[in-house]
Amino acid sequence: MEIVLIREPGIPAVLARKVVSAVQRLRELEPGQTAGVAETIDWARTLDFLGETDLDASNALDTLGAVVKDRDDLDVVRDNLQEITSGARDS
């Protein structure tokens, strides 16, 4: 989270925390291409650009291209999106 906030200081801390948590949950799915720091920052930046202050299944679905690059991974993530984003809220 600290890296996201250092690289993108205008992003709300709550949004950064939720995006980082969601990326950690994405990694637990063991995708073919693991999201790294750059993708995490891109996702947070994209959500912030769109005026989002929270992460939920709807805005995550709309912005997954920022963090998930592989088509097969995208299908798996979509199937688990509610769990990924609800878990992000609990962090």
In angstroms, the CA 38 to CA 45 distance is 10
Residue range 18-42: average pLDDT? 90
Amino acid at 47: L
What is the tens place of the pLDDT at every residue in 66-84?
999 888 889 889 999 999 9
What is the tens place of the pLDDT at every residue in 47-64?
999 999 999 999 999 999
In angstroms, the CA 5 to CA 87 distance is 21
In angstroms, the CA 29 to CA 48 distance is 25
Residue in this structure with the two tokens 């993530």, named with its chain if needed:
77
